[in-house]
Amino acid sequence: CNNMSIIQVDTLQKRDGSTFPIGKIGQVVQATTTTEVSNTTTSYADTGLTASITPTATSSKILVTVHQNGARSQSDQNNNSIYLKLLRGSTDISQIFVYSLYTGSGIDLYGASLSTSFLDTPSTTSATTYKTQFKNFVSGGHVRLQDTAAMSTITLMEVLA
C-alpha cells in the first residue's frame, strides 16, 4: 500500500497577500582540525579552525555551524576561562563563549564541545573566510583547544534567497 502524496505549488501566500520565502541550500563546505592549540595570553589567537565559501549571490545567507572540541582551561591561574569568537575575514561577527570552563580556585577543567550556529549575511559573491579565535580571561592563564587531538569542525551552508 502506497500512502504517499505529492503537493506541488508555485507560490505559498499568507493571509496578508505576501508570500513565504522559499530557501534552498546552494552549497556546503566543511573543514576540520585536530591540531592542538594553546594560548597563555589575553590576546585572541587563531584556533586553526577555518573554512571559505564563495556565495553565488549577494542575497545569499551563510549558516555557520561551529563545534570547537577538546576545550581545556588549566589551573595555572585562578578564575580563568576561555573566550571564543567567530570571525568573517578579520571582522568579529559572534562572541561564541565568554567565561567558558571557569576554573575558580586552581582546578583543571575539560569541556566536550563549545558549539554555536550563526546565520550571516555577507552580501558578496567573493570568497569569504570564517574562522574562530580564542583567549584567556586572565593574564597568566592557559587554555587549549583540540586537546589530545579532539576534532573540531566548521560547516558553512549557503542559503539561497
Q: What is the pLDDT of residues 53-66, one digit of tens each?
A: 999 999 999 999 99
pLDDT in tens, 74-89: 766 567 778 899 999 9
Q: What is the pLDDT at residue 120?
A: 97
Q: What is the pLDDT at residue 128?
A: 98
Q: What is the pLDDT at residue 143?
A: 86
CB within 8 A of 93, min separation 6: which ones? 86, 87, 118, 120
SS3 (DSSP) at 104: coil
Spatial distance between the Cα atoms of 150 and 89, rounded to a whole number of angstroms: 25
CB within 8 A of 140, min separation 6: which ones? 40, 76, 77
Question: Taking residues 113-123, what's their average pLDDT?
Answer: 92
Looking at residue 43, its amino acid is S
Spatial distance between the Cα atoms of 22 and 79, rounded to a whole number of angstroms: 47
Question: Taking residues 133-154, what's their average pLDDT?
Answer: 89
Bridge partners (DSSP) of residue 71 are 111
Question: Taking residues 135-155, what's their average pLDDT?
Answer: 89
Q: Using the predicted structure, report yes or no on whether residue 136 has a pLDDT greater than 80.
A: yes
CB within 8 A of 3, min separation 6: which ones? none
Spatial distance between the Cα atoms of 4 and 160, rounded to a whole number of angstroms: 28
**Predicted TM-score (pTM) of this structure:** 0.80
Cβ–Cβ under 8 Å, residues 102 and 5: no
